[in-house]
Structure 1
């Protein structure tokens, strides 16, 4: 049985337009569940969306993102609605910022041995929740390399936390949605950012906020590095527009660095999209159009290879999770990135605040400024 029966892109931001498609899928006997990828600019809120979600008899799952992808284009308004051929097992995790360890909760919520056909785990998480990295570590410790993982951070480019995870019980904040699929997938991950600094030890950090690097205020060190590299002077007022070209990279043994997107600075601290542990070593990274497009090509090739190593048939659907800050950095050249990763056949996805993936072979991570290509 295929993963999906059909999907539709609706350019309207109106909840009434979404309702029309939900009603249609509700009446379709071949649809068992519904996946939604929506844009933040639609203005969906618990007040206007929850009544609709709670009246659906079929589970409605998904997220709200800065932009969504449909057939090789990025959209800042609208919604993609997908009819799933089978109703997946799903788990909702609430109050992520108040938890530190997730293994016990995951063991209690879902036992993989009870669903041995599960092959892929879709993960949608509030991109501004604390402890996302702890959740990812908990997922890996619980399910290991038995699954492929694919997903990303929901939320708004306003950087203001708000309800953004779509579940049958309503629109949630500070939450994660785990969707267990009994479908194979091929996944590729790459970023294309190169180091422009020496490694610095994170000598103090809390969650996703770096306090000090090499025992000095984090923003002071970051300013010096950008000045040395010849970049635009960075201040608290212009922080995000400048910092989008200079992410941090967390060093990993025998693996590509994990990228962390600097979002804002306050009190000489730097807040990132995703946790940065005290004691880690980080470098400041930089990239250009050429290196990022090369990485997109690499991710696509990795996904193709992974798919055809396990499957003898063409893929039916391409699912893309790409970082919204890559789009902001590449600007007009982002269309070329989408062209590089768009194979033939249906394509959908989202521009996210952090990306979640592994290829079934490597350690699971919460990435930033990274492109993830998935084939189903």
Structure 2
């Protein structure tokens, strides 16, 4: 059975335009659920979107992102609407920032003995929640490599917290949505950022906020590194415009460093997209157009090769999760990254605040500034 029966991009930001697609698809007997990827600029809120979600007789699942992807193009307004041919099993989690462990909750989420293999778990999470990495760790501790995982952080480029995870019960803030599809997939992950500093020990951190590096204020250390590299003068006022080119890298054994995107600074602290645990070692990274485009090509090649090795039929759909900060960094050259990722067939996806994926068969991480390519 096909994964989807309908895939459309609606350029209008109006709820009424989305309503027309939802009404059409819920009347289609071949559609069992709806997947929606919407742009933050649409202005969807609980007040205008929740009535639509509550009234739909089929589950509506997805998220609101800085931009969405459709057929090799990035859109800052509009919505991608997909009619899924089989109803997925899904779980919505609330108040992520109030949790420190997720294993017990996740252990009761899915009854794997009743579900046919193979599985792919889509994970949509509020990208500004404080415990995303803890959720990802809980997923791996609970389910291991039972699934392929693919997803990312919902939210706004304004970095203002707001409801952004779409569930049948309504829009969620500080929440997550786990959508289990019984379809095969292949995943490729790469980022292309390289180290420009020695390793620094994170001597104090809480959640996604780094307080100190090598027992010194984190922002002070970060300023010194950027001053030595390219004579960059970073301040609280110009922080995001410069920091987008200088992420942190957390060292992982036998794998690419996991990138953490610095979002803002407060009181000499640095707030990142995703946790940076106390006691880990980080480096400051930098990249250029060439290294990032090479990484996107590598992610696509890995996903394509994995599909060819495990499946005897062509893939039906490409699902891409790419970091919004890669688009901001590459600017007008980001179209080249999309061209490297999208080669043939239907494509959808989102530019996210952090990416969730397993690389090959060994790792599950919450990434930043990373390109993730999935074949279904």
Classify the TM-score, shorter chain. Answer: over 0.9
- State the secondary structure of the residue aligned to 2:293: helix
Is residue 186–residue 359 contact of structure 1 (8 Å, CA) maintained in 2? no
Is residue 149–residue 360 contact of structure 1 (8 Å, CA) maintained in 2? no
State the TM-score, normalizing by the size of structure 1. 0.99
1:128-185 per-position Cα deviation (integer Å, ceiling 9, x unaligned): 1111000000000111012100000000000001000000000111110000010000
Q: Which residue number in structure 2 is paired with residue 61 of structure 1? A: 61
C-alpha distance in 1 between matches for 2:35 and 2:222: 40
Is residue 151–residue 357 contact of structure 1 (8 Å, CA) maintained in 2? yes
Q: Which residue number in structure 2 is paired with residue 45 of structure 1? A: 45
Is residue 34–residue 81 contact of structure 2 (8 Å, CA) maintained in 1? yes
C-alpha distance in 2 between matches for 1:286 and 1:231: 14
Q: Which residue number in structure 2 is paired with residue 86 of structure 1? A: 86
1:238-258 per-position Cα deviation (integer Å, ceiling 9, x unaligned): 000000000000011111100
Q: How does 1:9-24 map to 2 (within 5 A)?
A: 9-24=9-24
- State the secondary structure of the residue aligned to 2:49: helix
Q: CA deviation at 1:363?
A: 1.5
Is residue 118–residue 180 contact of structure 1 (8 Å, CA) maintained in 2? no
Could you list the runs of 5+ residues in structure 1 that have no partner in the other structure?
Answer: none
In the comparison of the two structures, how many residue pairs are matched? 376
1:177-205 per-position Cα deviation (integer Å, ceiling 9, x unaligned): 00001000010000000000000000000
Q: CA deviation at 1:112?
A: 2.0
1:287-315 per-position Cα deviation (integer Å, ceiling 9, x unaligned): 00000000000000000011111101111
Q: Which residue number in structure 2 is paired with residue 217 of structure 1? A: 217
Q: Which residue number in structure 2 is paired with residue 178 of structure 1? A: 178
Q: Which residue number in structure 2 is paired with residue 165 of structure 1? A: 165
Q: CA deviation at 1:343?
A: 1.8
- State the secondary structure of the residue aligned to 1:277: coil
1:370 and 2:370 equivalent? Answer: yes
Could you list the runs of 5+ residues in structure 2 that have no partner in the other structure?
Answer: none
Structure 1 range deviating more: 225-234 or 87-96: 225-234
1:40-87 per-position Cα deviation (integer Å, ceiling 9, x unaligned): 000000000000000000000000000000011000000000000000
Q: CA deviation at 1:115?
A: 1.6
C-alpha distance in 1 between matches for 2:223 and 2:130: 25
Q: Which residue number in structure 1 is paired with residue 149 of structure 2? A: 149
State the TM-score, normalizing by the size of structure 2. 0.99
C-alpha distance in 2 between matches for 1:147 and 1:109: 14
